[in-house]
Amino acid sequence: MIRLGRFVTGVIPLAVLSGVLLAALLMMNAATQNSAVFGRVYSLLLLVNVVGIVLLLALILFNLFNLIEQYRARVPGTRLSLRLLILFVLLSVLPVSVVFVFSVDTLNRGIDQWFDVKIEQALDDALLLGRTALDAVKQDLIKRAQEMAADLETVSSAAPGRANRAALTALNNLREIHSVTELTLFAPDGLIVASSGEASLGASTLVPDRPNETILAQVRQGMPYASLDAQGKSGLRLRVVVPVYAREVGAPRRILQAIQTLPPRYTKLGESVQTAFAEYEKLVYLRGPLKFGYTLTLSLVALLTMLVAVWAAIFSARRLVAPIRDLAEGTRAVARGDYRKQLPITSHDEIGMLVASFNDMTRRIHRAQTQLKRSQQEAEVQRAYLETVLTHLSSGVLSFDSRHILRTHNAAAVQILGVDLGYAEGKSLEWVGERHPAMAAFVIAVRAAMATAQSEWQVQVSLEEGRRTLIARGTLLPALSGRRSGYVVVFDDVTALIQAQRNAAWGEVARRMAHEIKNPLTPIQLAAERMRHKFLKLLPPEERATLERATRTIIEQVEALKSLVNAFSDYARAARTEPGPVQLNELVRDVVELYQSGHEPAGGVAPIALRLELDERLPILVADAGRLRQVLHNLLLNARDALAGNPRPIIGVSTRLVAEPPRRFAELKVQDNGPGFPEAMLGRLFEPYVTSKEKGTGLGLAIVKRIVEEHGGAILAENAKEGGAYVTIRLPLEEVAARPAVPDETPARAAGRQLRGKGSS
């Protein structure tokens, strides 16, 4: 908009419009000298002039509006510019207006003098004289034709052949006597009787020009006919047709046609008079447009003069107030932070001294600003270096101000928390916790730690109901300028580390328990059996029953302890997998078939209904079939035990091919409509010795999880919204599945993230 204003108020538009109007004036001047051209280009010239006037008025109005707006905004120098503008307009408009009025009056008088009444009368008289002369020639030819017709009355028409020769001789004599170009005698019916013409006419003497029937009918009634006809390009000719009366009584009237070619001079003079008269008539017709065109031209000149005067006033005002305007602009530039502004010194008076002082001030400020920017650049380099370090850290980093507003974060924070924090910057911790319930525990723990106002603190946070564990460490940032500072929070996902530690600890516990318990079990069992065998027959009957009952209890408990020790051994011992091609759907059918023989849950009321939903698109996966059977058996047994007392027990087993580029997974899901898992145990279901059964060991799901992780998969246990519980297993299809469980293994972590996302949704 500023550029447009400068363009409109500058020299370029004035020069362009002046050039256009000058061209229009030249065209107008050239057109007015030629009435024919003026008539053709009148509309175009009028349009150009109107457009020029509109543009000039628009330019003047824009300049006035711009000046008024600057005056209202109290722009320095505008008042003086407005005064000079008014003065220049008065000095230019009044003389131009006087000159314009007198010029228009003089122009109208001059044009009116072109159309003098005497000139018009002279042209009319010349035209009338020409017509009178032609009429005289015509009457003379009619008179001579009638005389020749009277002479032809004596020529008999009784004998056609001889009469024709006589008529031809008479026509030749008459043509020579009366000096006519052509004589033709026609019979009453219009047929040519005889014809005589000049030899110079060529073919016309052989074929006379026959009058039409209208002319013949007029002549038959006794009225002569005369006309002025064009004779090709050679000029004009007079045609006279008169009747020839016969002296014989009852003879029909013949017809005589006389043609007289006018001299070429007559033709040229007539055409000259006619052309001059037509040109004068055109000029008379264009009299009004000529006046309007000249008036419009003068108006354009007047408007152009006033525009130049207005522009000269604006330009002069700008030159006069330029130092004041430059000082104001320089002050605004300094206010905007531009300390390099240097103003031109156009004079050496008081204003020039003021401008020099301003330039010296800006130079000093610029030097100070340069030093400050250099310091800021160094700080920016350090900040960029710190951001690079934070970006490549595996730990999540969050920074908060004193009001606990999130200011910065790194990519690891987004990856660990699973939340896009880009739009959360500038928001409070509470706002983030409300928008993302999965982060509520993390937000509460960090908020509580920050509320303690300690310089350093560390908290452990459990997310997703204990499935993920984060360790967050906070440090109070140093205060700046006496103001309270914020915190920087560094956190890591230690879920895999804690789980590995737990697994190692439980494995060591299970190994030691199996070792310490298994060794004395066999001697205890053998000693109990030996005591029963040795003393059973020696004791009285009442004591014999007591011994039998005691030894049986010892043996049963030893067997139970052996089963527990075997479970401990299975959990602690590193598995030896035997991977091979496995058709998961066939394996599921084989295992489920064992439970379709009317199985009922403990204390059940009705048989369990087993429902299969198998995806036939599942490809063959590489896994240990025996270990997968163990997993499915364990899950089905747990589901059966959970349906105790259910009047309509249902267990659903489904498989599905899951394609989540760039990976594919085989999904196995076991679901029941029992009471579900206890909410307090959902986060620890796969830990050893965690069970809700009265006689359970708590190792079943832990072993299942271990087997799934050995195959590079992931497992998730959840309660269904409609009731019951389900366990979902995902096994990767792209790689060989059987391998030791590694916390950071890519397929397992990928499957785990997808299952967690599915469960939380």
- Mean pLDDT value of segment 62-78: 79
Confidence band, pLDDT 50/70/90 cuts, at residue 586 = very high
Q: Could you give the strand order of the β-sheet that contains 235-244, starting from the edge strand earlier in sequence?
A: 192-197, 182-186, 254-261, 235-244, 225-231
| Closest residue by Cα to residue 514 from 685, 688, 738, 695 | 688
CA dist., res. 524 & res. 695, Å (int):
23
Q: Compute how many other C-beta atoms are within 10 angstroms of the C-beta atom of residue 38.
A: 20
Confidence at residue 450, expressed as pLDDT on a 0 to 100 scale: 83
- Mean pLDDT value of segment 319-323: 72
Tell me if 614 sits within 8 A of 585, measured CB to CB. Answer: yes
CA dist., res. 419 & res. 407, Å (int):
15
Tell me if 66 sits within 8 A of 5, measured CB to CB. Answer: yes
Query: For 580-760, CATH number?
Result: 3.30.565.10
φ/ψ (deg, to 5) at 716: -140, 135
Tell the burial category of 676 from Cβ atoms under 10 Å away from its Cβ (0-12, 13-18, 19+): middle
How far, rounded to the nearest angstrom, does the alpha carbon of residue 596 sit from its chain's CA centroid? Answer: 63
Confidence at residue 654, expressed as pLDDT on a 0 to 100 scale: 94
Q: Which of 158-172, 263-277, 684-698 ranks highest by mean pLDDT? A: 684-698
Confidence band, pLDDT 50/70/90 cuts, at residue 264 = low
Confidence band, pLDDT 50/70/90 cuts, at residue 161 = very low
The sign of the torsion formed by the CA atoms of 496, 501, 506, 508 equals positive
CA dist., res. 248 & res. 675, Å (int):
151
Q: Which of 122-131, 145-154, 231-240, 301-310 ranks highest by mean pLDDT? A: 145-154
The sign of the torsion formed by the CA atoms of 600, 601, 606, 611 equals negative
Q: pLDDT of 646-672, one tens digit each?
A: 888 889 999 999 987 778 899 999 999
Per-residue pLDDT for 85 more than 80? no
Tell me if 461 sits within 8 A of 473, measured CB to CB. Answer: no
Confidence at residue 118, expressed as pLDDT on a 0 to 100 scale: 56
SS3 of 300-333: the string is HHHHHHHHHHHHHHHHHHHHHHHHHHHHHHHHHH
SS3 of 599-626: the string is CCCCCCCCCCEEEEECCCCCCCEEECHH
The sign of the torsion formed by the CA atoms of 97, 103, 107, 108 equals positive
Per-residue pLDDT for 755 more than 60? no
Q: Which residues contact 40 (CB under 8 A, 6 or more apart)?
A: none
Per-residue pLDDT for 341 more than 80? no
Q: pLDDT of 166-207, one tens digit each?
A: 777 888 888 888 778 888 888 888 788 888 777 545 444 456
Confidence at residue 1, expressed as pLDDT on a 0 to 100 scale: 47
Q: Which CATH number fits domain 140-280: 2.40.37.20, 1.20.210.10, 3.30.450.20, 3.40.50.970?
A: 3.30.450.20
Confidence band, pLDDT 50/70/90 cuts, at residue 741 = very low
| Closest residue by Cα to residue 168 from 197, 199, 134, 143 | 197
Confidence at residue 16, expressed as pLDDT on a 0 to 100 scale: 72
Q: Which residues contact 187 (CB under 8 A, 6 or more apart)?
A: 157, 193, 252, 254, 255
Fold of 393-493: Beta-Lactamase (3.30.450)
Confidence at residue 723, expressed as pLDDT on a 0 to 100 scale: 86
Confidence at residue 103, expressed as pLDDT on a 0 to 100 scale: 81
Q: Compute how many other C-beta atoms are within 10 angstroms of the C-beta atom of residue 212.
A: 8
CA dist., res. 366 & res. 369, Å (int):
5
H or E element, residue 565: helix 541-572
Q: Which of 282-286, 496-500, 518-522, 698-702 ranks highest by mean pLDDT? A: 698-702
Confidence at residue 256, expressed as pLDDT on a 0 to 100 scale: 83
Confidence at residue 666, expressed as pLDDT on a 0 to 100 scale: 92
Confidence at residue 440, expressed as pLDDT on a 0 to 100 scale: 79
Per-residue pLDDT for 286 more than 70? no
Q: pLDDT of 500-534, one tens digit each?
A: 667 666 666 666 666 666 667 777 777 777 877 77
Name residue 180's beta-bridge partners. none
Which of the two residues, 743 and 142, has the higher pLDDT score? 142
Q: pLDDT of 382-416, one tens digit each?
A: 878 777 777 777 788 888 887 888 888 888 888 77
The sign of the torsion formed by the CA atoms of 491, 494, 495, 498 equals negative
Angle between helices 78-114 and 35-72 (to 10 degrees): 160
Among 299-308, 580-589, 618-627, 655-664, whose mean pLDDT is lowest?
299-308
Tell the burial category of 286 from Cβ atoms under 10 Å away from its Cβ (0-12, 13-18, 19+): middle
Residue whose token pair is 């065109």: 293
Confidence at residue 738, expressed as pLDDT on a 0 to 100 scale: 38
Q: Compute how many other C-beta atoms are within 10 angstroms of the C-beta atom of residue 603.
A: 10
Confidence at residue 14, expressed as pLDDT on a 0 to 100 scale: 64
CA dist., res. 487 & res. 451, Å (int):
11
Quote the radius of gyration of the chain (alpha carbons, Å). Answer: 62
3-state percent breakdown (helix, strand, coil) of the chain, nearest 5: 60, 15, 25
Domain ranges of the chain: 2-114+288-317, 140-280, 393-493, 500-572, 580-760
CA dist., res. 221 & res. 214, Å (int):
11
Which of the two residues, 696 and 667, has the higher pLDDT score? 667
| Closest residue by Cα to residue 8 from 328, 330, 332, 310 | 310
Per-residue pLDDT for 230 more than 60? yes
Confidence at residue 742, expressed as pLDDT on a 0 to 100 scale: 36
Q: Where are the alpha helices (DSSP H) in 256-286?
A: 264-285
Confidence at residue 172, expressed as pLDDT on a 0 to 100 scale: 82
pTM, two decimals, is 0.40
SS3 of 45-107: the string is HHHHHHHHHHHHHHHHHHHHHHHHHHHHCCCCCHHHHHHHHHHHHHHHHHHHHHHHHHHHHHH
Confidence at residue 700, expressed as pLDDT on a 0 to 100 scale: 78
Q: pLDDT of 484-499, one tens digit each?
A: 678 888 888 877 777 6
Confidence at residue 277, expressed as pLDDT on a 0 to 100 scale: 61
Tell the burial category of 712 from Cβ atoms under 10 Å away from its Cβ (0-12, 13-18, 19+): buried
Which of the two residues, 116 and 576, has the higher pLDDT score? 576
- Mean pLDDT value of segment 246-268: 72
Fold match flag (393-493 vs 580-760)? no
CA dist., res. 174 & res. 170, Å (int):
6
The mean predicted confidence, pLDDT, of the chain is 75
Tokens of 513: 């328990």
